[in-house]
Amino acid sequence: MIANILDGIVLGLQFGLLAAGLTLVYGLGGVLNLAYGQMAVTSATIMVLAMDAGIPTWPAVGLGLLAGGLLGLLLDLTILRPVYRLRGEARVLLSLLLTLGVSFIVDGFLNWRYPLKALSLHIGGGAVEILGVPMRRGSLVASAITLVTFVGLFVFFQRTSLGRAVRSVIEDEEGARLVGIDPNRMLRLILVLSGALAALVAVTRAMVSPVDVQSGLSITVFALIVTVVGGLGNVAGALLAGIILGIVNVVAADLIGSYISLIILLGAAAVTILIRPAGLLGVKE
């Protein structure tokens, strides 16, 4: 049981990190980015190409993170311009459809040009024992990176004035505008951050299992589910929902079997949405 829960937490941290970038963009801009997984996969492919070109692993990873941020910036500067002109549900719907188009373009291109590329990052060394359970070193490094990232995000949002400005836009866009904060600049910043987070998702996943060019859709879908369960726009909610769903998934997989565990995971998400549409940590509007 302890082994299951530890595995669940490792998986859950991954889920949480998946959702963080998506939930921020949604909370801040009402933009549901269905090309999120494709951003991760594109960054992963850039890392692989860089390594193939002879660049050492860690500089290549850095390059990939940078590329992720640039992808976010690119989205903000191009396809999302007309989206920002809309409000409310129409904005969410248009952003969803346009980024769906982007995800098709990216998926189609990567499958055509680099069908066999996959990113895997091997962390050397044997298993490490935690509470009597041997854990893979790759999973532990990935979890540590995730935890550090979340601490960084919390510090950014709670302690820095820039982070507070972003939060003020999430809470009340008009109010923020009145005190001199430009919501569009904050949104651009968050899209860059979201792109870098997507690239980081690819990095941490690659430490556990290879990230191939076909995994974009599944990354997006899981990010979406965790985001919704955690409460749209809520980073802490994303972490909590990720860990809960991770544990649910691993325990269900151990007790019942793999495909039913996926259904249980999906069912848990659906039930949460139906009982608490605002998400676990969401505030009712």
Partner 1 sequence: MSDRLTGGTGTSQIGGTEARSSRSLPVLLIPIAAVGAALALIPLWLGDSRVLMGVAVLGLAFACYTIGFNVIFGSTGQLFLCTGALAGIGGYGAAILADTVGLPIVVSILVATLVATFTGGLLSFVAVRRSLGVIFTGIVTLIFSLSFEALVFGLSHLTGGDTGRLIDSGTDSFLRDRIPPYYLMLALLLVFLLVHGLLRRSHMGWAFRALRDDELAAELAGVDVARYRVYAALIGAAMLGLAGSTYAFTEGRISPTTFGFGEVDVVVLVMLAFGGIGTLFGPIVGAVTFTIVDEILIEFGQLRQVAYGILIIALFLWMPRGVIPTVVSLWHRLRGLEGSSAAKSTDSAAENLKSVSGESQSAE
Q: What are the E-state strand segments in the chain?
A: 118-119, 128-130, 133-135, 211-212
Site membership for partner 1, residue 50 (CB under 8 A): no
Residue 44 contacts residue 278 (beta carbons within 8 Å): no
Hey, CA dihedral for 271, 23, 20, 35, is it positive or negative? Answer: positive
Hey, CA dihedral for 12, 14, 15, 20, is it positive or negative? Answer: positive
Based on CB atoms, which residue is closest to partner 1, 183 or 279? Answer: 279
Min dist CB 187 to partner 1, Å, is: 19
Rounded Cα distance, 143 and 138, in Å: 9
Min dist CB 54 to partner 1, Å, is: 28
Residue 241 contacts residue 40 (beta carbons within 8 Å): no
Based on CB atoms, which residue is closest to partner 1, 106 or 200? Answer: 106
Q: Which residues contact 190 (CB under 8 A, 6 or more apart)?
A: 24, 25, 28, 29, 166
Query: Segment contacting partner 1 (CB under 8 A): 60-68, 111-119, 189-197, 203-211?
Result: 111-119
CA 112 vs CA 53, 106, 115, 116, 210: distances in Å = 20, 10, 6, 10, 19
Site membership for partner 1, residue 263 (CB under 8 A): yes
Among 18, 50, 65, 102, binds partner 1 (CB under 8 A): 102
Based on CB atoms, which residue is closest to partner 1, 189 or 253? Answer: 253
Site membership for partner 1, residue 112 (CB under 8 A): yes
Strand partners, 212: 118
- Residues 194-233 close enough to bind partner 1 by CB under 8 A: 217, 221, 224-225, 228
Min dist CB 101 to partner 1, Å, is: 4
Min dist CB 75 to partner 1, Å, is: 12
Site membership for partner 1, residue 118 (CB under 8 A): no
Provide the binding-site residues for partner 1, judged by CB under 8 A. Answer: 32, 79, 82, 89-90, 92-94, 96-98, 100-109, 111-112, 115, 217, 221, 224-225, 228, 257-260, 262-263, 266-267, 269-270, 273-274, 277
